[in-house]
Structure 1
Amino acid sequence: MPVKPLSIVAGPPLAEEEGIGELTLSGWFLEVTEQFADREALVFYDEGKRVSWTYADLRDRAFEAARALIAAGVGKGTRVGILMTNRPEFLAATFGTALAGGVATTISTFSTQDELEHLVNLSCCSVLLLERQILKRDFSALMEAIEPEISNCSPGQIISETFPFLTHVAAIGEASGGIETWDDFLARGQNISDDRVLARAKLNRPSDPGVLFFSSGSTAMPKGVLSAHRGVTLQLWRFPKYYGVERTPRVWSANGFFWSGNFAMAFGGGLTKGGALVLQSTFQPEQALALMETEKANQVHAWPHQWEQLVAAPNWASVDLSEMYYVDRTSPLAAHPTIDTDWREPYATYGNTETFTFSSTFPSNTPEDVIGGSHGKPCPGNIFKIVAPLTGETVPMGERGEICVKGPTMMLGYIGIPLDETLDDEGYLRTGDGGWFDDQGRLHWEGRLNDIIKTGGANVSPLEIDAVLKKNPGIKAVQTVGIPHDTLGELVVSCIVLHDGANLDQSAVQAFAKEKLASYKVPRRVLFFAEDDLELTGSSKIKAADVKALASQRLSGET
Structure 2
Amino acid sequence: MLGTNTLPALLRDAAERFGDHPAYVEGDRIVSYAELLRLVEATSEVYVNSGACCGDRIVLWGPNSIDWAVAALAVSYAGGVLVPVNSRYVGAEVADVVERTDAALVVVHDGFLGRDQVRELRDAGVDDQVITPMAGLMSAARTCDGLRHEEVTPDDVADILFTSGTTGRSKGAMSAHRQTIGAARAWAELGGVRQDDRYLVINPFFHSFGYKVGIVVGLVTGATLYPVATFDLDETMRLIEDARITVLPGAPTIYQSLLTAPGRAERDLSSLRLAVTGAAVVPVVLIERMRAPGPDGLAIDQVVTAFGMTEAVVATMCREGDSAETVATTCGRAIPGMEIAIAEPRSDSGAGELLIRGDYVMLGYLDDAAATAEAIDSDGWLHTGDIGVLDDDGNLTITDRLKDMYISGGFNVYPAEIEQVLARMEGVADVAVIGVPDERMGEVGKAYVVAAPGHTVEPDQVVAFAKERLANFKVPRQVAVVDSLPRNLSGKVLKTELRGG
Q: Normalising by the residue count of structure 2, what TM-score does the alignment of the two structures yield?
A: 0.87
Tell me by how many angstroms 1:540 deviates: 8.7
**Deviation readout 1:429-449 (Å, 9 max, x if unpaired):** 222112233444443332321
Q: Distance in 2 between matches of 1:517 and 1:332?
A: 36
Supply the distance in 2 between the matched residues of 1:368 and 1:432 (Cα, whole angstroms).
27
- Alignment partner of 1:39 is 2:1: no
Per-residue deviation at 1:227? Answer: 0.3
Q: Does 1:345 align with 2:303?
A: yes
Alignment of 1:57-72 (within 5 A): 57-72=35-50
Instruction: Give per-residue Cα distances to partners, 1:186-236, cap 9 Å, x unaligned.
Output: 26744xx54x43xx2xx3221111111111353413211110001110122
Partner of 1:543: 494
Give the C-alpha shift of residue 124 in structure 1. 1.6
Structure with the bigger RCO (C-alpha within 8 Å, sep 6+) is 1
| Identical counterparts, % of pairs | 26
1:319 equivalent to 2:301? Answer: no
2:170 pairs with 1:170:
no
Contact 2:338–2:357 (Cα < 8 Å) also in 1: yes
Q: 1:483 to 1:252 in 2, by over 3 A?
A: same
**Bigger Cα displacement from structure 2, 229-238 vs 63-72:** 63-72
State yes or no: 1:295 paired with 2:248.
no
CA distance in 2, matches of 1:334, 1:401: 32
Contact 1:476–1:498 (CA under 8 A) maintained in structure 2:
yes
**Once superposed, what is the RMSD of the aligned Cα atoms?**
3.1
Match of residue 254, structure 1, among 202, 215, 221:
202
Check the 8 A contact 1:170/1:185 in 2, yes or no: no
Partner of 1:104: 82
Aligned pair in 2 of structure 1 residues 476, 255: CA closer, same or farther (>3 Å)?
A: same
One-letter amino acid of the counterpart of residue 121, structure 1: E
Give ranges in structure 1 of 5+ residues lacking alignment.
1-19, 151-157, 159-167, 174-180, 389-393, 551-559
Which shows bigger deviation, 274-283 or 496-505? Answer: 496-505
Q: Secondary structure at the match of 2:287?
A: coil
How many corresponding residue pairs?
A: 488
Contiguous gaps of at least 5 residues in structure 2: 277-285
Instruction: Tell me the residue number matched to 1:555.
Output: none
Deviation at 1:350, TM superposition (A): 2.4
Aligned residue number for residue 522 of structure 1: 475
The answer to whether the aligner puts 1:359 opposite 2:315 as a matched pair is yes
Name the structure 1 match of 2:10.
28
- Contact map agreement 1:87 1:280 (CA 8 A) in 2: yes
Tell me which residue corresponds to 1:386: 342
Residues 543 and 372 from structure 1, CA distance in 2 versus in 1: closer, same or farther, beyond 3 angstroms? closer
Corresponding residue of 2:465: 512
- Matched ranges for 1:108-147 at <5 A: 108-147=86-125
- From the superposition, tell whether residues 320 and 121 of structure 1 become closer, same or farther in structure 2 (CA, over 3 Å): same
Q: 2: distance between equivalents of 1:27 and 1:343?
A: 33
* 2:397 pairs with 1:444: yes
Counterpart residue identity of residue 525, structure 1: Q
Write out per-residue CA displacement over residues 293-337 of structure 1, whole angstroms, 9 at most, x where no aligned residue.
Answer: 332222223323344555666654533323222247728777784
Task: Say if 1:481 and 1:147 are closer, same or farther in 2 by CA, change over 3 A.
Answer: closer
Given candidates 412, 415, 421, the residue that maps to 2:363 is 412
Q: Please list the CA deviations of residues 480-506 of structure 1 after superposition, one character each: whole Å capped at 9, or x if unmatched.
A: 111234443323222334456655444
User: Which protein is bigger by CA-based radius of gyration?
Assistant: 1
State how far apart, in whole Å, the 2-side matches of 1:54 and 1:425 are.
45
Of the three residues 436, 450, 474, the one matched with 1:483 is 436
Among 241, 266, 272, the residue aligned to 2:220: 272
Correspondence for 1:162:
none
User: In structure 2, what is the Cα distance between the partners aligned to 1:34 and 1:62?
Assistant: 14
Q: Which amino acid aligns with 2:381?
A: Y
Judging changes above 3 Å, is the alpha-carbon distance between structure 1 residues 43 and 333 closer, same or farther for their aligned structure 2 residues? farther
- Separation of aligned partners in 1, 2:343 and 2:486: 32
For 1:148 and 1:75, the matched residues in 2 are separated by 20
